Each structure stands twice: as structure tokens, then as C-alpha cells.
Amino acid sequence: MQLRYSFRLYPDTGQLRALAKAFGCARVVFNDAVRAREDARKAKQPFPTAGQLSRRLITEAKRTPERSWLGEVSAVVLQQSLRDAETAYRNFFASLKGTRKGARIGPPRCKSRKDARQSIRFTANARWSITRSGRLNLPKIGAVKVQWSRTLPSTPTSVTVIKDAAGRFFASFVIDTDPAADQARMPETDRTIGIDLGLTHFAVLSDGTKIDSPRFLRRAEKKLKKAQQELSRKQKGSRNRAKARLKVARAHAKVTDARREFHHQLSTKLISENQGIAVEELSVAGLARTRLAKSVHDAGWASFISMLEYKAQRYGRTLVTIGRFTPTSRTCSTCGVVDGPKPLNVRKWTCAACGVVHDRDVNAAINVKTAAGLAVTACGAQVRPGRVPAQCDEAGSHGFPSKDCVA
């Protein structure tokens, strides 16, 4: 299983210039590849292959006065930029054919030096290394200081250097882990749980536990509003505007990091304590078009469920998702009678058939668990077969954009 481990980088002044040069060269090669494909399409000619693009845009371009500066960065960075362009076109055509899951995506566009996020990737043949002093030695960049928050379980296969909108640098390592060793870290248990996600409480468990919603964005709204107002009053193109934009980006990054840390801590706790977990599929895109949009985005349900998915696969747990149209809030968890629809302000209701008084959220969590059919025998064997495949998602703890995820 492949995971990502991300660590904060602190490059010095010379390394900042080298990284900026590498980001720029990778961006130019990517844009040249997009233009070459677009020119071929307009001329109704076959798309140039990856080998042809590599020879024309990298090898031959280095010999020209206009692109001679491409030789000042690692060739692996340029090759990986071409691979990114190939992947972007492959995903675009798969989306057109309907073989790619998710919403329709458009064709690749040219990158801008003003993009919020920039990255370069070094594979094993780039001969990057970790020095004895704990620095990350990158070709034609130097030994960059790393803030190690944990040890790497094995030798990384590649490293991606990322610059985010807040001006922070990170190194994201791809690690191959042993599934048996990961599953041995969390012994099997006979506990199962159902989760009802909401806004009043972030999560309500079928055992009655209620987890409050931190509402990180709501708590930071005053600070964000002030920073955004200062940005709007700065002259476009000025240095003061650039400083104000960075201040806004850092405020948003702090909110994002805090939310991600909360999701990681809660998802790890649930995975470690329960052998089976049931959640309800949520239409986040639909809810984001309502008056609750800001609160829905602040909760970050999709990110939390994604963490549950890959951690369940990593540690040998079972995660079951039930349909979004299952009437969990209207069904009595005691007798199974389906009552009528209830407005959101109704938090408790009495079953007309059996007379049991239900807490709306706890009752829904119990019904989620029941609908999922989770059960564990006395010997610990899982009755419901299979685990939900994990999706790739870079996620991480506070101060880091990505922790350990399926790559």
C-alpha cells in the first residue's frame, strides 16, 4: 500500500531562488506540451507522443538560446512535468468517454506563475537523498532543512516539493508500506458503530456519543473578514497587495490545518476502536447550494469520510456506506415504523407506534448501523464481506498539508 508522508521545508535564500527556477521551468515545459497538443488538434494532426514531446521540448529546446535555461534544473523535474501533462489529457479523454468517475473535467490549461499552488517531483533516478544531519538533498537545489514530525517507515520512492498559497514549502514522500504490519498495529475488536454526520454536532454515534462541531471557519470569520478588507483596499500589482494576499492565505491555511487535524484525530480514534463503521452517503454538492452552504463546507464531511476510507483499508477495518435516500431520521430504531418527514428544528420525536421517545441524531445513527448490516461473530469474524477501496487524498495534521494517505 502506498502512503504519503508530508513534512515542512525551510529553504534558505539561495534555495528559494533555485526552487523558484525549478517551478518556472516545470511550468514552461507543461505549457509547451499543452500548446503542442492544441496546435496539433487545430491542424487536425495526430497528437505528438510523449517521446516526441520530450525530445522537442526538453532535449532540443536546451540547445536553443530561448530555452537554454532549462538546463539549469534537474532533467527529472522536466520529465515529470511532461508526465503530468500526459495524465491530465488521459483524465480529460476518460471523462469525455464516461469511463472516469466524478464530474466532467475540461481539457488541460496552461499554468500561471501566479497559481496558488506550485510543485515539482523528483523520482528515485533523480538521486535525491536524506543526509545524515536530516536535510533533504535535492539535485541543483541543495540540502534543504526539514522539520521531521515522525520517522519514515521505509525508503521513499519519490518526493514532491510543494509551495502552497501561504508561501509554505512541503516535501511529500511516497512510501510503500507493509499491509500486514499496519493491520498488526491495530488488533481486531468486536465493536461496530454507526455515524450520523450533521451540523449541530459534527458526528453522533450509535452508542449515543455526540461530538461537537468545532466550526473552525465560523470562529475565524472576524479575522478573515478584516484581512480580506485590507486586501481589497490595496492597489493591484503593488507589493503591499502581495503582502496582504499572503496574510489572507495564511489565515485560511490555519483554518484548513486545524480542520484537517480534527478530522485525522477523530477518524483514527474511530478506526482504532471499531472493527466495522457505517456512514451515510451525503450529497455535499447539493447541500452546498442551500443556505447552509458555509456550514456544510466548514464541516468538511467529504474529507472526513475519505480519511475513514483509506484508514479502514490500511488497518483492515470494514467501512460501509449506505444510500443517501435511506430514511434514517424518520425510521423508529426500536420498532422499524417509518414516520413522516420532520423539519430540522425537531430534535426529538415520539414514535406513534411504540411510544418510544427518540433523539433525532442518535436514532439516525442507529438506523445507519442497522441499514449497513454490520455484525461481528463471537470469534471476531466479520460477517459483512469486503472493505471499501480507499481514495487518494493528501491529508495531514496541523501545520502539514498531508499526512499518510493512499497515493
Active site residues per annotation? 196, 280, 361
Which residues lie closer than 8 Å to 265 by C-beta, 6 or more apart?
Answer: none
Residue 401 in 3-state DSSP?
coil
Q: What are the phi and psi torsion angles at 319 (to 5°)?
A: -120, 125
- What is the helix (H) or strand (E) element at residue 38, kind and residue range? helix 13-42
CA 212 to chain centre: 23
- What is the helix (H) or strand (E) element at residue 52, kind and residue range? helix 50-54
The whole-angstrom separation of Cα 18 and Cα 48 is: 31
Residue 345 in 3-state DSSP?
coil
Residue 142 in 3-state DSSP?
strand
The whole-angstrom separation of Cα 314 and Cα 405 is: 9
Give the Cβ contact number of residue 327 at 10 Å: 13
Helices (H), 236-394: 239-273, 284-287, 293-299, 301-314, 360-372
C-alpha cell at 140: 541543483
Contact indicator for 197, 150 with CB cutoff of 8 Å: no
Residue for grid cell 488488533? 187
Give the Cβ contact number of residue 36 at 10 Å: 17
